[in-house]
Structure 1
Amino acid sequence: LGYQLLTSLLLGTLILCAVSGNACVIAAIALERSLQTVANYLIGSLAVTDLMVSVLVLPMAALYQVLNKWTLGQVTCDIFISLDVLTCTSSILHLCAIALDRYWAITDPIDYVNKRTPRRAAALISLTWLIGFLISIPPMLGWRTPEDRSDPDACTISKDHGYTIYSTFGAFYIPLFLMLVLYGRIFKAARFRIRKTVKKAEKKRMADTCLTLSPAARNEKNTEAKRRMALSRERKTVKTLGIIMGTFILCWLPFFIVALVLPFCDSKCYMPEWLGAVINWLGYSFSLLNPIIYAYFNKDFQSAFKKIIKCKFC
């Protein structure tokens, strides 16, 4: 009873925080006109997806965790698993869409201003849901093993080997690879632009030095200040990208390693129930962390959140 009470309290708090956090992001974008940009539409759509995870998936997952058995029947189990895979996959793929949007924005800033339209954002969002749908539906159409339904007290995803490879690579490993490539290129492009700005300032200082001494001394100070600012921006870029990728990998990599390995080693592998639960909920907690990473660190969002708290939109 003590375990069930503590687990209920912890998971209930997590679900409540995830719902309120994502709802705040959606409200901020809906109410604050300055936040209604194409880049923020993707963040808003991510918040909607994570809100769906929090409302449609996490309560049933929490009930399953607390009771330590499935009590809602086979049909509800199939719906739960499909919603789980659909929404979590779409959430992960939204991160790819955001990375792709940022990559285009920083590598092709002039042309992409005209290409960065709501229609393009809608196309990226639709693609995340289409891929999620293609990954979540096959088990309901029969891509599973007979053992998947052998225990009425259990509700697990299909352990068919083909589906395991298809779903884990489609939902995580391929998106992870794409994000690593995109954010690696974003960092290189950002560093190139920052250092190019510093070099321009240094060339200007050298030209001024040839003309007169006094302004050159002032320009040297300006150049040093710009260099420090550039290094600060570079560190901030590294920190932001590190937080995004670090949190994503920390939350989801353990889950997808287990999801890929366990169906193949079957009875040869042993994993304690508590460890499986921690790994499972670590992945779910990413729906709580997304609004913090993508919105709460953003000054424009912070301003909108303060207005919401003070009820200035009311």
Structure 2
Amino acid sequence: GRFFSEVPQNIASSEYKRTLPPKKIVLSVTLSVLAILTTFLNCLVITAIAVTRKLHHPANYLICSLAVTDLLVAVLVMPFSIIYIQKESWVMGKVVCTIWLSVDITCCTCSILHLAAIAIDRYRAITDAVEYSRKRTGARAGAMVAVVWLLSILISLPPLLWRYYTGDADQEDQCIILHHHIAFTLYSTLGAFYIPLLLILILYFKIYRAAQTLYMRREASRASRHSCMTNGSMIPSTYPAGDAGDGGPRSPDPVSPQDKSFSDPSTEEAPRERMRISVKKFHCKARRNDSRSESRRSQLSQGPRISGSRERKAASTLGLIIGAFVICWLPFFVKEVIVNTCSSCSTSMEMADFLTWLGYINSLINPLIYTIFNEDFKKAFQRLVRCSSYL
């Protein structure tokens, strides 16, 4: 939002004042639609997690907290911003202005820090799956949420407390934070965006590399098992597919929990029949219990394809997460640094509003990106939509 601003020059230019009413109406309707969609999608995520027992998982508590934060942006920040843009001046008083700025800065910062917290959680889940699965409790997730909110308040508070009030009549009807110190700009931008951005980039790069390593190990394991089958006469079943579906157990898939969160469950191998043929000389007895599928030859041929599919899905998901975050917030924070460190630099009110709302849109995108690739969320959303259609 309007985190902070230099003492502006010609805030309400005559050109902006002469904006045609139809254009204002279209702009206001468009922004209102964005606010309503943001509210709806985040409410959908919160409701899905609340009523679906299968989604009661510590990792989803962070997603729920992110949705709550983005919902606050949609309900408490966006409507006031729409009125501000429509009126071209602040008409709701200084007290409301201070409250709005406080909520705006804190909630937007909190939303960004939630993305960093989710990246940390996913990194731990994929790089230390066994140990972290024991530590990944609801209390731990709650503690992470509390830390995120505390850091958001600590980052947002100094610029608000040390606001610069001017007696300039041109700024009496504006709701912005004025200051003359570059230190506030660096403190706020680094804490609210640049440090979380660096953390997210590093962690998601490591997550992708770790997932890639897991895929390579899985393929090597399959190749090793195939070698044992060949050398030890582990002949795969040649029964038709229609004869081999009676209660055969699913072949174990050495994929970490986090890898599954990036993958589509529809790419899992279908259950296959267990088939064993005893021979006199069997050189791979240690591999024997792993042979529980109908057709190892079919599984081997699918292995690289499935692995490649998951790897592409993981890469595309990470790309969407990082891309949406950077596209939405980087322009705003680059503008803030430039404008607040360069005394001769300024931006038009239209550009400032555009960059501000580009950041707000991240609260609309977050519930889509962080749930659309999860099959459990998809099913929960479908149930909620079907139930609502009968009301």
- TM class, shorter-length: over 0.9
CA displacement at 1:7 relative to structure 2: 1.4
State which drifts further: 130-139 or 209-218: 209-218
| In 2, Cα distance between equivalents of 1:279 and 1:90 | 18
Match of 1:45 in 2: 65
| CA deviation string 1:220-259 (max 9, x = no partner) | 5432211111111111110110000000000000011011
The Cα offsets for residues 61-93 of structure 1, whole Å up to 9 and x where unpaired, read as: 111111111112222222111111100011111
1:4 aligned to 2:80? no
Equivalences for residues 1-314 of structure 1 within 5 A: 1-141=21-161, 143-147=162-166, 151-159=171-179, 160-212=181-233, 215=236, 219-266=296-343, 268-311=344-387
Larger deviation: 147-156 or 191-200? 147-156
**Which amino acid is 1:310 matched to?**
R
Segments of 5+ residues of structure 1 without an aligned counterpart are: none
Report the alpha carbon displacement of residue 144 of structure 1 after superposing the two structures with TM.
3.0
User: What is the rounded CA distance, in whole Å, between the counterparts of 1:270 and 1:169 in structure 2?
Assistant: 21
Distance (Å, rounded) in 2 between the aligned partners of 1:22 and 1:215: 49
Shift of 1:17: 0.4
**2: CA distance, partners of 1:64 / 1:75:** 15
- What's the secondary structure of 1:137's corresponding residue? helix
CA distance in 1, matches of 2:54, 2:177: 42
Residues 280 and 140 from structure 1, CA distance in 2 versus in 1: closer, same or farther, beyond 3 angstroms?
closer
Matched-pair contact (CA < 8 Å) for 2:339–2:347: no
Q: Is the 8 A contact 1:158 1:164 kept in 2?
A: no
After TM superposition, give the deviation of residue 203 of structure 1 in Å: 1.2
Bigger Cα displacement from structure 2, 194-203 vs 146-155: 146-155
- TM-superposed CA distance for 1:278, in Å, is 1.5
Cα distance between partner residues in 1 of 2:146 and 2:168: 32
Q: Distance in 2 between matches of 1:145 and 1:157?
A: 7
Report the CA distance between 1:154 and its aligned residue: 1.5
- Which moved further from structure 2: 249-258 or 66-75? 66-75
Aligned-pair CA distance for 1:291: 0.6
SS of residue paired to 1:188: helix
Q: In structure 2, how many angstroms separate the alpha carbons of the residues matched to 1:245 and 1:139?
A: 27
SS at match of 1:311: helix
- Relative to the length of structure 2, the TM-score reads 0.76
Measured on the aligned residues, the alpha-carbon RMSD in Å equals 2.1
Aligned AA for 1:182? L
Give yes or no for contact 1:144–1:163 (8 Å, CA) kept in 2: no
SS in 2 for 1:253: helix
How much has 1:213 moved relative to structure 2? 8.7
Structure 2 CA distance for aligned equivalents of residues 272 and 51 of structure 1: 28
The code of the aligned residue for 2:76 comes to L
**Matched residue SS, 2:301:** helix
User: 1:185 offset after TM fit, Å?
Assistant: 0.8
Residue 90 and residue 198 in structure 1: after superposition, are their counterparts in 2 closer, same or farther (change >3 A)? same
| Moved beyond 6 Å, runs of 4+ | none
Q: 1:55 Cα deviation (Å)?
A: 0.8
CA deviations over 1:163-222 (Å, ceiling 9, x no partner) = 111011000000000111111111111110111000011111122222349549964543
SS across alignment from 2:342: helix
Separation (CA, whole Å) in 1 of partners of 2:212 and 2:52: 32
Change (3 A) 1:293 1:197: same
Q: Distance in 1 between matches of 2:313 and 2:235?
A: 34
1:279-301 per-residue CA deviation (whole Å, 9 max, x = no partner) reads 11000011111111112332211
Range 187-196 or range 67-76, more displaced: 67-76
Question: Distance between the aligned counterparts of 1:155 and 1:255, measured in 2?
Answer: 17
Residues in 1 aligned to 2:306 and 2:98: alpha-carbon distance in whole angstroms = 54
More deviation in 161-170 or 211-220?
A: 211-220
User: What is the identity, as a one-letter code, of the residue corresponding to 1:110?
Assistant: V
Secondary structure of the corresponding residue to residue 207 of structure 2: helix
Which of structures 1 and 2 has the bigger CA Rg? 2
Percent identity over the alignment is 42
Aligned residue pairs, count: 312
The 2-side partners of 1:147 and 1:290 are apart by: 37
- In structure 2, stretches of 5+ residues that fail to align are 1-20, 239-294
